[in-house]
Amino acid sequence: MTLEQTIKDILPLDYEAMARAKVHWDSLAKPLNGLGELEKLLIRIAGIRRSPSIDLRHKAVVVLCADNGVVAEGISQSGQDVTKIITENLSNGTSTVCHMARAAGADVIPVDIGVASEVEGDRILHRKVAYGTRNMAKEPVMTRAQAIRAIEIGIETAYWCQRQGYDIIATGEMGIGNTTTTSAVVAALLHAPVELVTGRGSGLTTEGLHRKIQVISDALARWKPDQHDPIDILSKVGGFDLCGLTGLFLGSAACGLPAIVDGVISGAAALCAARLCPTIRDYLIPSHHTAEPAGALLEQALDIHPILDAHMALGEGTGAVLMFGLLDAAASLYCNGNTFDDSNIEAYQPLS
């Protein structure tokens, strides 16, 4: 599935299915809009699935794994070997998100889209575009063709998840240095000051943070990515994980598979997807407020309103995974709750 064809295949949400879901919510023996944002999210899921019948039992966390050449500039506390280790841990079930996913009844699907070395594991989808990106401090991180290929891998992964029978996915990533690439992409997309959108990532000193800001600023000044062209931005200062996530959002929308936005990295990819196809905005299911500085700006740009605020900054899709439990609880009521007729209770009426 090509990027161009995928964008053509993305339709507006099914508003008839959403209206029917709203009617069903209002028929249940509870106060109108009693579950607040959770009711709205399930109505949106009905629009994505193009049916008021909602089943979220089969869940997956899709984690795009890739290395970033900018790590050579000392902008991270860890080296690239950690990306390989955690990618393999995602496969064997010992990484952080794996424990949380098991609690939520979700499968973890690591995708090697650009790890800098070979990785081994039965659950890894091997989709490597290259062995990591180039260093943005020295040259553009990838070619435009590589960026498009990585986006299309994300699209293909969404369709793969649909064929595997998943009802909903959470989006995650793993790659040392990817808060640097994310800050660069967000600064370019929003034409925002680098220092406003750059944080300490997994734990930089103040000196390290200043170095990170300088590296990003210099790269943006040198390569001059086009604010109006997300692919140009991704190819000059992005990462393969960001490209893959961008495609994952596009592909999920095209095939009617609900996808949950995780933190700042996932959010930056969602904004790239929305710039390529504005209809995507209606498909985005937010999860949590991120501790990274760019988070609030991304939420504003995407007009999404996360309902969790736990000051998380872990990555791997961990914030998105927490949404599974909330959505499951809401879906249980939606699918099984007594109606006013069942309960012999007079239905609530909308207030004027």
Active site amino acids = 316
Distances (CA, A) of 114 to 12, 84, 273: 32, 10, 20
Q: Are 119 and 128 in contact (CB under 8 A)?
A: no
Q: Residue 248 is encoded by which pair of tokens?
A: 């994952």
d(CA 105, CA 115): 27
Across the chain, the runs of DSSP E, i.e. the strands, are 59-66, 106-114, 125-126, 168-174, 259-260, 284-285, 288-290, 308-312
d(CA 46, CA 170): 17
Q: Are 197 and 217 in contact (CB under 8 A)?
A: no
**Based on the number of CB atoms within 10 Å of its own CB, is 33 exposed (0-12), middle (13-18) or buried (19 or more)?**
middle
SS3 68: coil
d(CA 167, CA 259): 9
Task: Report the greatest alpha carbon distance in the chain.
Answer: 71
